[in-house]
């Protein structure tokens, strides 16, 4: 851009305008919001505005720097004077009147304009720079138009509030003003008076078209600048949003907003251009929705009652029928109230509808409240977590309870691919088994969050089960799952294992999720999984979950989890932070080494696990705290895993997990024949973790007797809370060294015994699993037949 010479008046005027538009004081003005309003207020045809934008270089930069802004203003003046737009004209045209902006929305602006215009031939033609926010409502409109009609001088009264608010609320009014402006191309300096209110009001529709044109202009120029602080309804369409409501203004308006303003805003938005995923909520939009939600319901985890929502959305001036349909779509749980997710979805739909998009018949995936299911299913008041989730609309976890069902589903899958860790870890979408799995399990478990996957699978199932349990419990909450998974994996290796487990658990979760019947978006599930993974790392069990030592009783599991804690505590010495940070991280399963077979299947998990296990054994013996665990080390890996799983569960703070794990563990034990054997073989080194992993329920109690278990018992109480557990573990640590010597032998003996029991149980388990599978298949076939026979399938 060539140098721009401005007269003093111009300089002053421009700088005022710039600061007016530079809401954020960033010295550069994004191409939207006030700038747009300003330009529309200039009453220039849209293509002229576009041209100006191009000329001043804003399109190149994507925003208006001060110089660009000044150039643009100068060009506006040029255009308004009727001169052709040329870059050279910036400086060549002398005695240009100051650019006129109609619809004095801003008192200040108008005042400025007045002052500026004092030395220009355009008297009066300067009206407020920005049209008063339409938000003022119909009444205001009248006043506004009145203002615009009159030269700025008279603008003041009208805009009393508008000037102040206008920047915020400009969007609503802008369409109006645009329209006017468009109608009255700024030719002469003076006349301006926007042809009276008539054209101004006339139609929103016209305004919209004008605004849309403007939008188009803007969009053409720059990528839809992130709405500065608002998520205009038309957010989704990047372009259209330009002028659409400023979130701030909208917010203000929500309280004051009249239908009129809403309409205008909506209309503007309607012009929005297309976007890739019409139903995707951008971050700005989301932020805007959240802010709007807050105005109604300060608690982000709370609900908006139907009546409040009705009032709010009625302001958008959509027909009641459409609003009713939007409600039907967005009230996912049909409770007559809107959670944050539901509200955002509803708001988004309203915005889309305002922009001319037809309402879908069913809620698009990206708008589905993903967390809601999770939280419901998880049955954990993890509101914050949900909010966090909801924060990423793009995640669009498929269906509501992606992780949960996926977990359930993956189990069956896991069952089938006994040795194939990969199947689990990869999100294979083989959900057939899953479905049957689910049907079996769902009713059984009172805990909605956790459904004990009836392991149809064979040996590997144990690991999977552990994972699944973890997943179930923590499906929604990344952490929970991970911890659970981690627990079963390797308690001993805590830190390292945790990390590895995390990975493993992640895999398992993925596997589960993939098999999720929803499979709406495996990646999403995976993402969920990955989240979980991060927390707890998929327990190595996933790959080849050592048949969870039959968790005989919850207490046992607790103890095992306690072990975990202890192991964590022990290792915390080395990695306190790590352990604590990932309580859920399943203590590195000693099994990792055991399950080399499965490990290979499981991509990273296995590696991680293996490393963990390798490390854990070392760690365990080293640390006095672990002494106990090491004693139990010998326990079949499955046992360990189970314990780990138990511990992990505890860490996961998900009691249900324990429950789940118990049955799962028992099942796992039975099933994972091969695994158990493997584990027993490898568990020795890796038993670090709790060691007292009772393979079978019977052995478990026995093991409990072990001192270490005694030590664990005190911690049992706290298993519910990982911190508590950790504390207990730490507390018990001192006692561990004492008993180490005595326990060692006893532990080793018990380990041997348990291992044997483990193998036996594992065999039994596998046989039972087979039977179970057969029965399930029969059942499914019968159900299918029944379905076919039934003429009407209801509810």
Partner 1 sequence: MAVCIAVIAKENYPLYIRSAPTENELKFHYMVHTSLDVVDEKISAMGKALVDQRELYLGLLYPTEDYKVYGYVTNSKVKFVMVVDSSNTALRDNEIRSMFRKLHNSYTDVMCNPFYNPGDRIQSRAFDNMVMSMMVQVC
Radius of gyration of the chain (CA): 33
Across 64-100, b (16+ Cβ under 10 Å) vs e yields bbebbbbbbbbbbbbbbbeeebeeebbeebeebbbbb
Report helix, strand or coil for 553: coil
Q: How far apart are the first and last CA of the chain?
A: 68
Of 139 and 782, CB closest to partner 1:
782
Query: Looking only at residues 197 through 216 of this chain, which bind partner 1 when binding is defined by CB under 8 A?
Result: none
Backbone angles phi, psi at 11, to 5 degrees: -55, -45
Other beta carbons less than 10 A from residue 443's beta carbon: 9
Taking Cα atoms as reference points, which of 505, 668, 667 lies closest to residue 586?
505
Of 262 and 654, CB closest to partner 1:
262
Least distance (Å) between residue 641 CB and partner 1: 44
Of 298 and 791, CB closest to partner 1:
791
- CA distances from residue 205 to 199, 201, 264, 266 in whole angstroms, order as listed: 11, 10, 9, 10
Of 94 and 334, CB closest to partner 1:
334
How far apart are the C-alpha atoms of 786 and 533, rounded to whole Å?
40
Of 6 and 318, CB closest to partner 1:
318
Query: Looking only at residues 330 through 389 of this chain, which bind partner 1 when binding is defined by CB under 8 A?
Result: 331, 334-336, 361
Task: Dihedral sign for Cα 325, 331, 337, 341, please.
Answer: negative
Least distance (Å) between residue 266 CB and partner 1: 17
Of 114 and 329, CB closest to partner 1:
329
Least distance (Å) between residue 315 CB and partner 1: 13
Least distance (Å) between residue 314 CB and partner 1: 8
Q: Which residue has the tokens 């509808």?
A: 353
Q: Which residue has the tokens 């006994």?
A: 418
Other beta carbons less than 10 A from residue 783's beta carbon: 12
Query: Looking only at residues 277 through 336 of this chain, which bind partner 1 when binding is defined by CB under 8 A?
Result: 305-307, 309-310, 313-314, 320-321, 323-325, 327-328, 331, 334-336
Report helix, strand or coil for 605: helix
Q: Site size for partner 1, by CB under 8 A?
A: 24
Of 336 and 384, CB closest to partner 1:
336
Least distance (Å) between residue 293 CB and partner 1: 16
Binding track, positions 727-746, relative to partner 1; x by CB under 8 A: --------------------
Least distance (Å) between residue 331 CB and partner 1: 7
Of 25 and 793, CB closest to partner 1:
793
* Residue 592: partners with Cβ closer than 8 Å, 6 or more residues away: 489, 490, 493, 497, 500, 540, 599, 606, 608, 609, 610, 611, 612, 613, 614, 686
**What's the token pair of residue 495?**
């830190």
Least distance (Å) between residue 362 CB and partner 1: 9
Of 328 and 777, CB closest to partner 1:
328
Taking Cα atoms as reference points, which of 760, 591, 794 lies closest to residue 680?
591
Of 305 and 384, CB closest to partner 1:
305
Least distance (Å) between residue 675 CB and partner 1: 45
Of the candidates 3, 84, 276, 790, which one interacts with partner 1 according to CB under 8 A? 790
How far apart are the C-alpha atoms of 639 and 637, rounded to whole Å?
5
Least distance (Å) between residue 274 CB and partner 1: 24
Of 14 and 357, CB closest to partner 1:
357
**What's the token pair of residue 142?**
């009248």
Query: Looking only at residues 557 through 576 of this chain, which bind partner 1 when binding is defined by CB under 8 A?
Result: none
Least distance (Å) between residue 336 CB and partner 1: 4
Of 400 and 566, CB closest to partner 1:
400
Least distance (Å) between residue 306 CB and partner 1: 3
Least distance (Å) between residue 792 CB and partner 1: 5
Query: Looking only at residues 149 through 168 of this chain, which bind partner 1 when binding is defined by CB under 8 A?
Result: none
DSSP per-residue letters across 208-271: HHHHHHHHHHHHHHSS-PPPSS---GGGSSTTGGGGSPPHHHHHHHHHH--HHHHHHHHHHHHT
DSSP assignment letter at 394: G
Taking Cα atoms as reference points, which of 260, 343, 336 lies closest to residue 296?
343
Of 316 and 733, CB closest to partner 1:
316
**What's the token pair of residue 677?**
């054997």
Least distance (Å) between residue 56 CB and partner 1: 46
Only segment of 169-177, 467-475, 577-585, 786-794 that touches partner 1 (CB under 8 A): 786-794
Site residues, partner 1 (CB under 8 A): 305-307, 309-310, 313-314, 320-321, 323-325, 327-328, 331, 334-336, 361, 790-792, 794-795
């Amino acid at each position: 851009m060539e140098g721009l010479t401005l007269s003093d008046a111009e300089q002053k005027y421009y700088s005022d305008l710039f600061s007016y538009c530079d809401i954020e004081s960033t010295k550069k003005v994004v191409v939207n919001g006030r700038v747009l309003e300003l330009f529309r207020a200039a009453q220039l045809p849209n293509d002229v505005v576009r041209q100006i934008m191009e000329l001043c270089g804003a399109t190149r930069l994507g925003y208006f720097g001060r110089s660009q802004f000044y150039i643009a203003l100068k060009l506006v003046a040029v255009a308004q004077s009727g001169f052709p737009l040329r870059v050279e004209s910036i400086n060549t045209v002398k005695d240009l009147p100051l650019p006129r902006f109609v619809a004095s929305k801003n008192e200040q602006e108008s005042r400025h304009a007045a002052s500026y215009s004092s030395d220009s031939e355009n008297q009066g033609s300067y009206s407020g720079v920005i049209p008063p926010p339409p938000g003022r409502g119909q009444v205001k409109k009248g006043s506004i138009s009145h203002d615009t009609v009159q030269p700025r001088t008279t603008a003041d009264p009208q805009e009393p509030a508008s000037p102040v608010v206008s920047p915020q609320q400009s969007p609503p009014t802008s369409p109006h003003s645009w329209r006017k402006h468009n109608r009255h191309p700024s030719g002469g300096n003076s006349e301006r008076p926007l042809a009276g209110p008539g054209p101004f009001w006339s139609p929103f529709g016209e305004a919209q078209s004008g605004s849309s044109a403007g939008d188009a202009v803007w969009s053409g120029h720059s990528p839809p600048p992130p709405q500065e602080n608002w998520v205009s309804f038309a957010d989704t369409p990047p372009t259209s949003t330009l002028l659409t409501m400023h979130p701030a203004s909208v917010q203000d308006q929500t309280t004051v907003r009249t239908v009129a303003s809403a309409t205008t805003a909506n209309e503007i938005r309607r012009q929005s251009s297309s976007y890739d995923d019409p139903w995707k909520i951008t971050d700005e939009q989301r932020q805007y929705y959240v802010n709007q939600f807050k105005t109604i319901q300060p608690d982000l985890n709370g609900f908006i009652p139907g009546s409040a929502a009705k009032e709010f959305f009625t302001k958008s001036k959509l027909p009641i029928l459409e609003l009713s349909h939007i409600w039907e779509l967005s009230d996912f749980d049909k409770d007559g109230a809107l959670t944050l997710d539901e509200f955002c979805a509803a708001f988004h739909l309203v915005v889309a509808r305002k922009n001319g998009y037809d309402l879908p018949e069913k809620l698009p995936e990206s708008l589905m409240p993903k967390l809601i299911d999770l939280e419901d299913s998880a049955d954990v008041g993890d509101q914050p977590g949900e909010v966090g989730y909801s924060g990423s609309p793009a995640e669009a976890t498929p269906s509501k309870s992606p992780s949960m069902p996926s977990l359930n589903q993956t189990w069956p899958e896991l069952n089938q691919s006994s040795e194939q860790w990969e199947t689990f870890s990869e999100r294979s979408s083989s959900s057939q088994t899953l479905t049957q799995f689910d049907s079996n399990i769902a009713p059984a478990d009172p805990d909605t969050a956790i459904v004990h996957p009836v392991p149809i699978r064979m040996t590997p199932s144990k690991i999977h089960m552990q994972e699944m349990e973890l997943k179930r419990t923590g499906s929604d909450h990344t952490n929970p799952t991970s911890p659970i998974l981690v627990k079963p994996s390797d308690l001993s290796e805590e830190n390292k294992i945790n990390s590895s487990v995390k990975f493993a658990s992640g895999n398992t979760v993925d596997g589960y999720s993939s098999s999720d019947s929803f499979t709406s978006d495996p990646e999403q599930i995976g993402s969920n999984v990955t989240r979980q993974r991060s927390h707890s790392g998929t327990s190595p069990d996933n790959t080849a979950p050592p048949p969870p030592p039959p968790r005989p009783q919850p207490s046992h599991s607790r103890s095992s989890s306690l072990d975990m804690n202890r192991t964590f505590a022990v290792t915390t010495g080395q990695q306190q932070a790590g352990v604590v940070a990932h309580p859920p991280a399943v203590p590195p399963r000693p099994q990792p080494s055991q399950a080399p077979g499965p490990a290979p299947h499981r991509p990273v998990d296995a590696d991680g696990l293996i490393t963990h296990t390798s490390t854990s054994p070392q760690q365990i013996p080293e640390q006095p705290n672990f002494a106990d665990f090491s004693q139990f080390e010998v326990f079949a890996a499955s046992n360990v895993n189970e314990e780990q799983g138990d511990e992990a569960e505890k860490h996961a703070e998900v009691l249900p997990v324990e429950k789940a794990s118990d049955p799962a563990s028992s099942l796992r034990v039975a099933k994972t024949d091969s695994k158990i054997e493997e584990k027993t073989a490898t568990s020795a080194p890796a038993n670090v973790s709790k060691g007292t992993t009772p393979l079978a329920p019977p052995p478990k109690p026995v093991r409990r007797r072990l001192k270490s278990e005694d030590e664990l018992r005190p911690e049992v109480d706290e298993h519910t809370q990982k911190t508590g557990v950790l504390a207990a573990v730490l507390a018990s640590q001192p006692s561990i060294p004492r008993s180490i010597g005595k326990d060692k032998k006893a532990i080793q003996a018990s380990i041997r015994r348990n291992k044997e029991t483990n193998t036996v149980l594992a065999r039994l388990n596998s046989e039972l699993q087979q039977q179970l599978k057969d029965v399930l298949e029969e059942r499914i076939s019968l159900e299918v037949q029944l379905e076919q026979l039934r003429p009407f399938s209801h509810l």
